[in-house]
Chain A
């Protein structure tokens, strides 16, 4: 009954104006069994991603600004997107990270007030010169809310494989590709007996993996993930994070996340954005371990967000 009598440890408050104190508080007290925790301003989680095996530059974001009407949501951001690596965009709400992500496959264009300045290159070709439907098959996207289409699990993938609105290409012909897409998303074993069940009856985590499978079925070069785990429970999040780490060799992965631990766990490079500006871009260990900018330091230590 000791826990009943022992008084709880005093809660130490973060002194916002004193970075040294913030650092002290934020430093991990007990690194769990050998986990490599980041020093510096971040109560690190365990890194679940190893060093990249290779990295090929797929996309180049070059001085990109995005405006909604007169409001500048992204201000002159330059970033590389590489296959073999996971790039994470972090920053407080409204910092422009999702807008930047959506401009990579020209989804921002669906908002009539949005305009884009600067260049985004995909394999050295300006994406403005790529027909949007073709671009979006090469740069696919997974959204915050799991959004399978209201059809069977099989047809969700089949829809992507088939020509536009066509029903052609029979099930038999698509089977191998559908299975392999589900397999790459780590879902095949769970759904292989229920491929004709409605996709919207899967669990949230399975739905999100189906969405990843759908995005992979187009065989993209770049996979964009917009807070893919924010609607999911911790277990499903874990499964999806493991999957993202596995995917980085096949496809360049860009993930927007609110969850700093997640960024630390699975990203190779992290870009911290604040009010539309790219404040800092460096490797995850560097950005969380020894941030160069004061803003970054404050954000990763939880001083604001």
Chain B
């Protein structure tokens, strides 16, 4: 072996074992400034506090509800009587809630989605789009009792007499139609906001990809954009539904807040009910609570429990929709 061999590299001597930390090193708050640590502690405390409050409400209502709710209450209308055993249940209120929810959302959903599509995809002239935006925001900020008051003015109008009970030219102005129409305004801003968010989250190149294979704006909106925004549309609808179910002011003012359905005579089903006054669960809870006219708190708890269940079901539905949307995937940004 006459070829020169490179000398072996000089390796540093093996390091003596460094002192091992007693625990694996992780970033902790122990090195933080005092203010930051206090801030973190407050965040924790508030988070836990609100969890506790939510759990307390749900658990309390569950216990009360399971104690007082009897299946018969769901199918028996309210009746007048002197003891809780004579006053029946709240089936009319339950149906009332279902009716206003269905009617309200079937006005608010198409209108809200249409407004959002126009705002995001068209939005010209810009000034008009701006005005629309701020109008929607204004509606979102108006207390529902004010909407209700405004509703009485509109629906007591003689021209709209066909939507409620009218006798001798005097329009009562309170009906499922009137209440649902105003309730849809409560849900509308939520649906618009949520749908806009969904449409805005679709990258521009996705729209262009559809145009780039010769599709019109209408086809793109129908087949690509709205399906892609479906989870957000659904979220908006569920939130809106929750608000409709939970609203009391509009019911008290615009639904007549009777204890039972008060169908209009001489009109065919189902218009007689829809044009008549009625009640909902929120109104029933209000009336049955210790401050209300009926003062039968046990039934108030039972009805509140049913309301809570409805809201929980809606929340669950939102979760399911989002989970299903995740299965379809989304674009990398």
Contacts and interface: CB of A to CB of B under 8 A. Distances in A.
B208 A107 contact: yes
Contact of B208 (A110, A198, A201, A231): A110
Interface residues of A, number: 39
A160 B212 CA distance: 10
Contacts of B214: 133-137, 140, 160, 218
Contacts of A5: 6, 9
B17 to A, nearest CB: 24
Contact of A4 (B9, B224, B228, B329): B9
B216 interface: yes
A136 B328 contact: no
Interface string B188-219: 00000000000000010110111111111011
Given A150-B330, A200-B330, A140 B205 contact: no
A146 B266 CA distance: 62
A82 to B, nearest CB: 21
Interface of B: 6, 8-9, 203, 205-206, 208-216, 218-219, 222-224, 227-228, 327-332
B329 A137 contact: no
Contacts of B8: 1
A143 B8 CA distance: 55
Contacts, number: 98
Interface string A163-204: 011000000000000000000000000000000001111001
B328 A198 contact: yes
B7 to A, nearest CB: 8
A215 interface: yes
A150 B224 contact: yes
A16 interface: no
A143 B208 contact: yes
A204 B206 contact: no
14 contacts: A2-B6, A136-B214, A141-B212, A143-B208, A143-B209, A144-B205, A145-B203, A145-B205, A147-B205, A149-B228, A150-B224, A150-B329, A160-B214, A164-B218
A1 B215 CA distance: 62
Nearest to B218: A165
A145 B329 contact: no
B125 to A, nearest CB: 11
Nearest to A152: B328
Contacts of A134: 214
Contacts of B6: 2, 5
A152 to B, nearest CB: 9
B331 A200 contact: yes
Most buried by B among A147, A165, A200, A211: A147
A143 B205 contact: yes
B205 A149 contact: no
A215 B213 contact: yes
A214 interface: yes
Nearest to B206: A147
A1 B218 CA distance: 67
Given A150-B330, A224-B212, 9 more contacts: A107-B208, A133-B216, A144-B205, A164-B218, A165-B216, A201-B328, A204-B332, A218-B213, A218-B214
Contacts of B222: 165
A165 B206 CA distance: 16
A20 interface: no
B5 to A, nearest CB: 10
Contacts of A160: 213-214
Interface in A73-121: 105, 107, 110
A136 B9 contact: no
A35 interface: no
A8 to B, nearest CB: 15
Contacts of A151: 227, 328
Nearest to A5: B9
Nearest to B223: A165
A90 to B, nearest CB: 21
A147 B203 contact: yes
A5 B327 CA distance: 53
Contacts of A159: 210, 213, 215, 223-224
A108 B135 CA distance: 33
A245 B213 CA distance: 22
Contact of B219 (A135, A165, A214, A231): A165
Contact of B211 (A107, A146, A215): A107
Lowest 8 CB-CB distances: which A-B pairs, in order? A200-B329, A137-B214, A165-B219, A141-B212, A164-B219, A136-B214, A133-B214, A165-B222
Most buried by A among B209, B211, B213: B213
A217 B215 CA distance: 13
A4 B8 CA distance: 10
B213 A137 contact: yes
Contacts of B218: 164-165
A231 B8 CA distance: 45
A139 to B, nearest CB: 8
A200 B327 CA distance: 9
B169 to A, nearest CB: 48
A193 B78 CA distance: 59
